[in-house]
C-alpha cells in the first residue's frame, strides 16, 4: 500500500532515482520511489556498465563525470553490496587519420581538464589489447576509466536507501501531479495518491512525459541504443573500449552518418562481451531491429576479428534520455515550487549516478553545491509548452 | 514496388508442419518450410539418414510422416533445412539463418509456428555429471546414429516417455537394469483409460509394456533419483522412495552403481518464437505448462500467426497431425482459398479429434506434474541453471531477498542468462518461484524473450541480409 | 568400443575422424555426439563458472552442454553436427 503522505516522491526507480533516494536517505529524508514497471526494467537495465571520461565533453560535463567516477572505488563498500566495479582503464580506438586529428585536439582539451590521458600508436595499442585488428591507427588511453554492473549498482542504491528508510513501489505509474498555487502538493498513481510537497523527476527517457503532466516542456527525447550480448567466455577484452567514431556520433550526429555509429565494448565480470550500440530516434520503441543487430555485428568484427566465433546469445535495446546539449537537467524549476529535475543523462546515467544523487540531495537540504548549476537548469532550453 | 512474398512460412518440419504443408501446397500458394535439423521429420521421424533400421518396422504414424515428406518434396514448397529462425518481430518479419552461411529476411502473409517441444527436467544433486543424459538424447542417438549411450543403463524420472525409451533400448539390444518412476503404478494404470478408443496408441503402449515386461528390466514405482555421484563422471546413484505427494521419505535412500542414467520429466513447449512474435502465452498444467495460446482455429493473439503441435500444448504426434491439418484449413480459409461452409464442414471432425487429443495430453502431462513437494525436495546444493552454475540455494536466497518474479530472480542471480538462454532451467524455475511465493503460476509473467532465439556466432550475424523471395513464378 | 553400435544398423560408408588427435571410424550420417559417445567420451567440457566436468544432456540442440571444437571452430554443438571425413574434434573446452 502506498503511504498517504511523503516528504519526497521520486518518479523513476532507475539508477538515477535510486541514487537520489539513497543520498536523501543518508540525510535522513525517507523518500518514496515510484517505478512504473518492475525493478530496473527501463534503461538502467538495458545499457552497458562503462564508466567513461573520454566520452564526456571537456568542461562542466567532464568535471561532473570526474567527480562521479571518484566515488566508484568505495561505492560497493559504502552501499554494502557487490556492484562488480572494475577499474580496467579505457581505450578509444582510432581507425583513420581524420579521427586521429580530431582525437589529438580532444586529448589536449581533456588533459587541460585534468584527465590522465595518453595517445598510443598502433603497436602500443595492439600490445595492450591484442584482440584488436592491426588495421587500427592507435588509441587514447585513460587509466581511471572502468566498468560496473548496472543492475547491481541500481539494486545496491535501492537496497541501501530502503535500509535507511526509503520506500520503493513497483508497478506504480504516475498519472497526474497535483499543483496548488504553483506549488506541488500530490502525486496520483495507478496504485493510489500520495500527498507530497516535493517531486523529483527521475523518469529517464520518460522525463518529458512527466513534464507534460505539469505543463512543462522538458526536451528529453528517447534515443534508442541496441546492444549485443555474447556467451560468457574467458577474459578476451582487457579494457573498456570505445571507438573514436562513437564519440563523434555522440556529439555530432552528421559526422556519425558518414563515419558509422561507432562501438562500445566491455567484457563483464561474468565473461559476457557487451557490444553496443546504435543511436536512433524512434520514439519509445524498445525493440531491436534486424538491421541494427546486423550492423553492430559487422562493425565489431572489423575491429575485433577474433570475436567471429563468439556466440551472440541475446540483443536488447534501451532508451537513452537525450537532451539537445548532451547535459542532464538537474535542480529546481522556476515557477513550480517543489518540482525538481534529475533526468536527461543520455548515455551517462550510470557514470553520473553518484554525483547526481549528491547534487539533488543538496538541492533539497539547501546545502552548497560545488558545481555551477546554471549549466543544468531546465530554463536553458525554451520551456514554453 | 512491393515484391512477392511467401504466402505461408512454416517454422518446424515435424508432424504438424509437414501435414500443414501437404495440405497448403495444392492451393496455388508459395509455401516455405524451415527446420533447424538436417532433414524434415522432427523427432518422431528421426532415422539414420543412410541406414534405415530393418528391425523396427515403420508404424502407421511414421508411414504418414514419410509419405508427407515425399508429398511436399514434389510440390510448390520451398524446403530449407539447417535453417533457424533467429528473430521474429510483431510485424511478422522473420530473420533466418541458413547453414551458418546466409541470413535471409522475409515477411510472409501467414506464419505457422510448429516449433515442437523440448524435454523437461527436475534437477537433482549431481545431475550435471557426465553420464547423466536425457531420455530424449538416448532416443535420438539410437534412431539417428545407431548408437546406444551405454551397454547398461538406468532410466529415471516421470512420464510415459521413460517406457518408450526403455522399450527402444531393449529392442536395439541394450540393457535397462531399472526404471525408477516417480509415479505409483496406480497413477500409471489409471492413465491407460485414456487410451481406450485410441487404437494406435493402445497398440504402441502394449507393445512397449510387453517388451519391458519380458526383459530383465526391473520397474520401481514411487522412486526418485535424489543424487548422482562420481569423481569426474557418473559412478553411482542414490534413489529414494517418495510419498503420494512426491516428497522424499527420509531414510529410504539407497545407493547403487550406475554408469549411465537417462532422465526425463515430460516436455515443455518451445514457446520462445511465439513470445518474440508477440503471441500471448497461457499457463495450463494440462498442456504441460506455458504454451502459446491459440483460438479454436489455431490462430494466436497476433493476427496472421498460427500455432500447431506441441507449442499449443504437449500432446504427442496424433495431436500434432490433427492440428497441422486444422491450422492448414484455417489458413486457407483466412486467405480466401476455401469458403466458410467448406471450412466448417472439413474441420468438424478435426475439432472433435483435437479435443480427444487434448484430453489424452492432459492425462499424459499429469504424470509429469511438478508438485510443491517435489520442488521442495530439490536440495540447496543442486545446480539449477547449468549454463551459469546457479544452485537451488541461490534461487531460494533470491526469493527470500524479495525477488518475487522470474524476471527479478533472473536479474538478481543470472538464472537463465547463459548460452542455452534459459531453455533448460526456466520451466522448473516458474514452478519453484510459484511454489515458494505461493503465487499461481499463471500470474507470473513469463520471462521475455530476446532475439536471437538461439545462440549464433557473431560472424554469422554480420553476414549480409538478403530478401528471401519465392522461387516459383506466381501463377 | 563398437559394442555401443546397434547391431541391426548395417555399417556402411565409413568416415574417418580425429577425436583429440586420435583416429576414429564413424559412419556417414552420425552426429559428432554419437561418434564421441560410441568412442567412450563421456565428459566433453568443463562448466564456465565452477569448472566441473560436463557431458551431453538433451541431444537435440537445446542445452549447449555438448560444445566441442570442430575443425578449429570452438563452441560447436556436437549433437547438431554430422561427421565429415577427416573432421577434427577437440573436447575439453572451458
What confidence tens digit (pLDDT) does each residue in B447-472 have? 889 889 999 999 999 999 999 999 75
* C-beta separation of A17 from A11 below 8 A: yes
What grid cell was written down for B51? 541406414
Residue B368, chain A, CB below 8 Å: the answer is: no
- Tell the CATH superfamily of the A90-143+221-322 domain: D-Amino Acid Oxidase, subunit A, domain 2 (3.30.9.10)
Per the structure, the complete domain to which residue C28 belongs is given by 13-90
Distance, in Å, from the CA atom of B343 to the CA atom of B337, rounded to the nearest integer, reads 10
Q: Please compute the mean of the pLDDT values over residues B385-403 and round it to a whole number.
A: 94
Burial B120-149 (b: 16+ CB within 10 A, else e): bbbbbbbbbbbbbbbbbbbbbbbbbbbbbb
Which residue in chain A is spatially nearest to B456 when comparing CA positions? A311
Q: Which of C29, C62, C75 sits opposite B48 (nearest CB)?
A: C29
Task: pLDDT band for B474, please (50, 70, 90 cuts).
Answer: very low
Report CB contact under 8 Å: B421, A314: yes
Residue A254 has a pLDDT of 54
Residue B14: which of B54, B49, B50, B64 has the closest Cα?
B64
Residue B475 has a pLDDT of 36
∠ CA C68-C73-C74, rounded to 5° = 45
Query: SS3 string of B233-247?
Result: CCCEEEEEEECCCCC
Residue B50 has a pLDDT of 46
Residue A174's CB: how many other CB atoms inside 10 A? Answer: 23
Report CB contact under 8 Å: A297, B458: yes
Residue B354 has a pLDDT of 96
Topology match between the domains B121-264 and B372-443:
no
Residue B46: which of B75, B69, B72 has the closest Cα?
B69
Distance, in Å, from the CA atom of B260 to the CA atom of B236, rounded to the nearest integer, reads 9
Q: Which of B89, B103, B459 sits opposite A309 (nearest CB)?
A: B459
The CATH number of the domain covering residues in A9-45+151-219+325-380: 3.50.50.60
What's the gap in Å between the CA of C7 and the closest CA on chain B?
A: 8
Give me the number of domains chain C comprises: 1
Cis peptide before A277 (omega within 30 of 0): yes
Residue A259 has a pLDDT of 44
Distance, in Å, from the CA atom of B10 to the CA atom of B328, rounded to the nearest integer, reads 10
pLDDT over threshold 80, residue B45: no
* C-beta separation of C17 from C89 below 8 A: yes
Report CB contact under 8 Å: C75, A311: yes
Distance, in Å, from the CA atom of A79 to the CA atom of A18, rounded to the nearest integer, reads 12
pLDDT over threshold 70, residue B212: yes
Domain positions in chain A: 9-45+151-219+325-380, 90-143+221-322
Give bridge partners of residue B220 from the DSSP assignment.
Answer: B180
Report CB contact under 8 Å: C60, B172: no
pLDDT over threshold 50, residue B92: yes
Indicate the burial class of A306 (C-beta count within 10 angstroms; 0-12, 13-18, 19 or more).
Answer: middle
The enclosing domain of C44 has a CATH number of 3.10.20.440
Give bridge partners of residue B102 from the DSSP assignment.
Answer: B98
> Cell 573520454, residue?
A54
Q: Which of A232, A309, A311 sits opposite C48 (nearest CB)?
A: A232
Q: Which of C48, C73, C74 sits opposite A271 (nearest CB)?
A: C48
- Tell the CATH superfamily of the B8-118+268-364 domain: FAD/NAD(P)-binding domain (3.50.50.60)
Cis peptide before B301 (omega within 30 of 0): no
Residue A4's CB: how many other CB atoms inside 10 A? Answer: 11
Q: What are phi and psi of B269, to 5 degrees?
A: -65, 145
* C-beta separation of B208 from B185 below 8 A: no
Out of A333-342, A371-380, B211-220, B324-333, pick the least confident: B211-220
Q: Please compute the mean of the pLDDT values over residues B150-171 and round it to a whole number.
A: 94
Distance, in Å, from the CA atom of C72 to the CA atom of C87, rounded to the nearest integer, reads 10
Task: pLDDT band for B61, please (50, 70, 90 cuts).
Answer: confident
Q: Please compute the mean of the pLDDT values over residues B272-277 and round it to a whole number.
A: 96
* C-beta separation of C78 from C8 below 8 A: no
What percent of chain C shows pLDDT beyond 90? 77
| ipTM of the complex, rounded to two decimals | 0.95
Q: Is residue C36 part of a domain?
A: yes
Pairing state between β B261-265 and B152-158? parallel
pLDDT over threshold 50, residue B119: yes
Domain positions in chain B: 8-118+268-364, 121-264, 372-443
Report CB contact under 8 Å: C8, B142: no
Mean pLDDT for back-to-back runs of 10 residues, chain A (385 residues): 96 97 97 92 90 90 95 97 96 93 88 92 97 96 95 95 96 96 96 97 97 96 96 94 82 53 91 93 94 94 95 96 95 97 96 98 97 96 68
Q: Is residue C68 part of a domain?
A: yes
> Cell 571507438, residue?
A243
Q: Is C67 helix (H, G, I), strand (E, B) or coil?
A: strand
Query: SS3 string of chain A?
Result: CCCCECCCEEECCCHHHHHHHHHHHHCCCCCEEECCCCCCCCHHHCCCCEECCCCCCCCHHHHHHHHHHCCHHHHHHHHCCCCCCECCCEEEEECCHHHHHHHHHHHHHHHHCCCCCEEEEHHHHHHHCCCCCCCCCEEEEECCCEECCHHHHHHHHHHHHHHCCCEEECCCCEEEEEEECCEEEEEEECCEEEECCCEEECCHHHHHHHHHHCCCCCCCEEEEEEEEEEEECCCCCCCEEEEHHHHHHHHCHHHHHHHCCCCEEEECCCCEEEEECCCECECECCCCCHHHHHHHHHHHHHHCHHHHHCEEEEEEEEEEEECCCCCCEEEECCCCECEEEEECCCCCHHHHHHHHHHHHHHHHHCCCCCCCHHHCCHHHCCCCC
Report CB contact under 8 Å: B457, A309: yes
Distance, in Å, from the CA atom of B326 to the CA atom of B341, rounded to the nearest integer, reads 15
Out of A42-46, B28-32, B284-288, C50-54, pick the least confident: A42-46
Distance, in Å, from the CA atom of B445 to the CA atom of B458, rounded to the nearest integer, reads 30
Task: pLDDT band for B58, please (50, 70, 90 cuts).
Answer: low
Residue B450, chain A, CB below 8 Å: the answer is: yes
- Tell the CATH superfamily of the B121-264 domain: FAD/NAD(P)-binding domain (3.50.50.60)
Residue C92, chain A, CB below 8 Å: the answer is: no
Q: Integer distance in angstroms from the first to the last C-alpha of chain C?
A: 26
Residue B66 has a pLDDT of 84
Report CB contact under 8 Å: B93, A290: yes
A and C: number of Cβ contacts within 8 A: 9
Task: Give chain B's mean pLDDT.
Answer: 91
Q: What are phi and psi of B141, to 5 degrees?
A: -65, -40
Residue A1 has a pLDDT of 86
Distance, in Å, from the CA atom of A385 to the CA atom of A335, rounded to the nearest integer, reads 14
Distance, in Å, from the CA atom of B259 to the CA atom of B274, rounded to the nearest integer, reads 39
Sheet of strand B102-106: strand arrangement? B83-88, B94-98, B102-106, B465-467
The CATH number of the domain covering residues in B372-443: 1.10.10.1100
Residue A85 has a pLDDT of 97
What DSSP designation does B265 have? E
pLDDT over threshold 80, residue B174: yes
Report CB contact under 8 Å: B461, A293: yes
What DSSP designation does B366 have? H
pLDDT over threshold 80, residue B286: yes
Number of residues in chain B? 475
Amino acid at each position: 500500500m502506498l503511504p498517504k503522505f511523503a516528504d519526497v516522491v521520486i518518479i523513476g526507480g532507475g539508477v538515477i532515482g535510486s541514487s537520489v533516494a539513497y543520498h536523501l536517505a543518508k540525510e535522513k529524508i525517507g523518500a518514496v520511489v515510484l517505478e512504473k514497471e518492475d525493478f530496473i526494467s527501463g534503461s538502467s537495465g538495458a545499457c552497458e556498465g562503462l564508466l567513461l571520461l573520454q566520452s564526456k565533453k571537456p568542461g562542466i560535463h567532464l568535471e561532473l563525470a570526474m567527480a562521479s567516477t571518484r566515488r566508484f572505488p568505495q561505492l560497493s563498500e559504502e552501499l554494502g553490496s557487490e556492484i562488480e566495479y572494475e577499474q580496467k582503464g579505457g581505450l578509444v580506438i582510432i581507425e583513420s587519420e581524420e579521427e586521429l586529428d580530431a582525437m589529438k585536439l580532444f586529448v589536449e582539451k581533456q588533459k587541460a581538464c585534468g584527465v590522465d590521458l595518453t595517445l598510443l600508436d598502433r603497436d602500443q595499442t595492439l600490445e595492450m589489447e591484442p584482440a584488436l585488428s592491426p588495421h587500427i591507427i592507435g588509441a587514447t588511453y585513460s587509466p581511471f576509466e572502468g566498468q560496473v554492473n548496472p543492475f547491481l549498482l541500481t539494486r545496491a542504491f535501492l537496497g541501501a536507501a530502503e535500509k535507511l528508510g526509503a520506500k520503493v513501489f513497483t508497478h506504480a505509474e504516475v498519472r497526474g501531479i497535483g499543483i496548488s498555487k504553483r506549488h506541488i502538493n500530490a502525486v496520483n498513481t495507478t496504485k493510489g495518491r500520495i500527498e507530497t510537497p516535493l517531486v523529483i523527476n527521475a523518469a529517464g527517457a520518460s522525463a518529458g512525459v512527466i513534464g507534460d503532466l505539469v505543463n512543462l516542456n522538458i526536451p528529453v527525447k528517447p534515443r534508442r541504443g541496441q546492444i549485443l550480448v555474447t556467451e560468457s567466455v574467458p577474459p578476451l577484452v582487457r579494457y573498456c573500449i570505445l571507438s573514436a567514431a562513437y564519440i563523434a556520433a555522440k556529439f555530432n550526429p552528421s559526422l556519425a552518418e558518414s563515419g558509422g555509429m561507432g562501438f562500445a565494448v566491455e567484457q563483464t565480470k561474468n565473461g559476457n562481451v557487451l557490444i553496443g550500440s546504435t543511436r536512433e530516434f524512434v520514439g519509445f520503441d524498445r525493440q531491436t531491429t534486424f538491421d541494427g543487430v546486423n550492423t553492430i555485428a559487422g562493425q565489431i568484427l572489423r575491429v575485433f576479428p577474433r570475436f567471429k566465433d563468439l556466440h551472440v546469445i541475446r540483443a536488447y535495446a534501451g532508451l537513452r534520455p537525450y537532451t539537445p546539449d548532451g547535459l542532464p537537467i538537474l535542480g529546481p524549476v522556476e515557477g513550480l515550487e517543489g518540482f525538481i529535475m534529475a533526468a536527461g543523462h543520455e548515455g551517462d546515467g550510470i557514470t553520473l549516478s553518484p554525483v547526481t544523487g549528491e547534487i539533488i540531495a543538496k538541492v533539497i537540504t539547501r546545502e552548497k553545491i560545488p558545481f555551477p548549476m546554471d549549466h543544468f537548469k531546465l530554463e536553458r532550453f525554451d520551456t514554453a509548452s | 514496388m512491393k515484391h512477392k512474398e511467401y504466402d505461408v512460412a512454416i517454422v518446424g518440419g515435424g508432424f504438424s508442419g509437414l501435414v500443414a504443408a501437404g495440405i497448403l501446397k495444392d492451393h496455388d500458394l508459395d509455401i516455405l518450410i524451415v527446420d533447424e535439423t538436417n532433414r524434415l521429420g522432427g523427432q518422431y521421424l528421426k532415422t539414420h539418414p543412410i541406414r534405415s533400421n530393418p528391425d523396427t518396422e515403420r508404424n502407421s504414424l511414421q508411414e504418414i510422416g514419410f509419405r508427407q515428406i515425399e508429398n511436399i518434396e514434389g510440390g510448390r514448397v520451398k524446403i530449407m533445412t539447417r535453417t533457424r529462425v533467429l528473430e521474429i518481430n510483431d510485424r511478422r518479419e522473420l530473420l533466418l539463418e541458413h547453414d551458418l552461411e546466409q541470413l535471409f529476411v522475409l515477411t510472409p502473409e501467414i506464419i505457422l509456428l510448429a516449433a515442437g517441444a523440448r524435454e523437461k527436467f527436475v534437477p537433482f544433486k549431481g545431475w550435471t555429471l557426465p553420464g547423466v543424459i536425457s531420455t530424449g538424447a538416448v532416443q535420438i542417438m539410437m534412431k539417428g546414429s545407431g548408437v546406444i549411450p551405454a551397454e547398461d543403463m538406468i532410466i529415471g524420472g516421470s512420464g510415459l516417455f521413460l517406457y518408450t525409451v526403455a522399450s527402444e533400448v531393449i529392442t536395439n539390444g541394450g540393457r535397462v537394469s531399472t526404471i525408477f518412476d516417480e509415479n505409483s503404478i496406480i497413477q500409471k494404470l489409471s492413465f491407460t483409460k485414456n487410451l481406450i478408443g485410441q487404437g494406435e496408441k493402445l497398440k504402441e503402449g502394449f507393445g512397449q509394456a510387453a517388451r519391458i515386461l519380458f526383459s530383465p528390466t526391473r520397474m520401481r514405482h514411487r522412486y526418485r533419483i535424489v543424487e548422482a555421484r562420481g569423481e569426474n563422471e557418473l559412478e553411482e546413484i542414490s534413489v529414494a522412495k517418495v510419498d503420494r505427494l512426491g516428497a522424499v521419505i527420509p531414510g529410504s535412500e539407497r545407493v547403487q552403481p550406475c554408469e549411465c542414467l537417462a532422465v526425463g520429466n515430460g516436455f515443455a513447449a518451445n514457446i520462445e518464437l511465439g513470445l518474440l512474435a508477440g503471441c500471448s502465452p497461457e499457463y495450463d498444467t494440462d498442456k504441460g505448462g506455458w504454451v502459446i495460446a491459440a483460438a479454436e482455429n489455431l490462430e494466436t493473439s497476433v493476427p496472421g500467426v498460427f500455432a500447431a503441435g506441441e507449442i499449443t500444448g504437449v500432446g504427442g504426434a496424433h495431436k500434432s497431425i490433427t492440428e497441422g491439418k486444422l491450422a492448414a484449413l484455417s489458413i486457407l480459409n483466412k486467405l480466401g482459398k476455401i469458403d466458410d461452409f467448406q471450412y466448417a464442414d472439413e474441420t468438424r471432425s478435426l475439432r472433435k479429434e483435437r479435443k480427444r487429443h487434448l484430453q489424452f495430453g492432459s492425462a499424459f502431462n499429469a504424470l509429469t506434474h511438478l508438485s510443491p513437494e517435489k520442488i521442495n525436495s530439490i536440495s540447496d546444493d543442486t545446480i539449477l541453471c547449468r549454463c551459469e552454475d546457479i544452485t537451488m540455494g541461490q534461487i531460494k536466497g533470491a526469493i527470500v531477498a524479495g525477488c518475487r518474479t522470474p524476471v527479478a530472480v533472473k536479474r538478481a542471480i543470472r538464472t537463465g542468462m547463459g548460452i542455452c538462454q534459459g531453455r533448460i532451467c526456466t520451466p522448473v524455475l516458474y514452478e519453484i518461484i510459484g511454489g515458494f511465493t505461493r503465487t499461481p503460476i499463471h500470474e507470473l509473467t513469463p520471462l521475455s524473450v530476446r532475439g536471437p532465439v538461439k545462440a549464433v556466432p557473431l560472424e554469422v550475424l554480420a553476414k549480409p541480409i538478403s530478401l528471401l523471395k519465392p522461387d516459383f513464378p506466381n501463377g | 568400443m563398437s559394442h555401443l553400435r546397434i547391431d541391426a544398423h548395417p555399417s556402411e560408408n565409413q568416415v574417418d575422424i580425429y577425436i583429440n588427435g586420435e583416429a576414429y571410424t564413424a559412419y556417414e550420417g552420425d552426429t559428432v555426439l554419437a561418434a564421441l559417445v560410441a568412442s567412450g567420451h563421456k565428459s566433453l567440457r568443463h562448466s564456465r563458472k565452477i569448472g566441473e566436468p560436463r557431458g551431453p544432456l538433451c541431444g537435440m540442440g537445446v542445452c549447449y552442454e555438448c560444445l566441442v571444437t570442430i575443425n578449429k571452430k570452438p563452441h560447436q554443438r556436437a549433437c547438431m553436427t554430422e561427421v565429415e571425413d577427416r573432421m577434427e574434434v577437440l573436447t575439453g573446452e572451458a
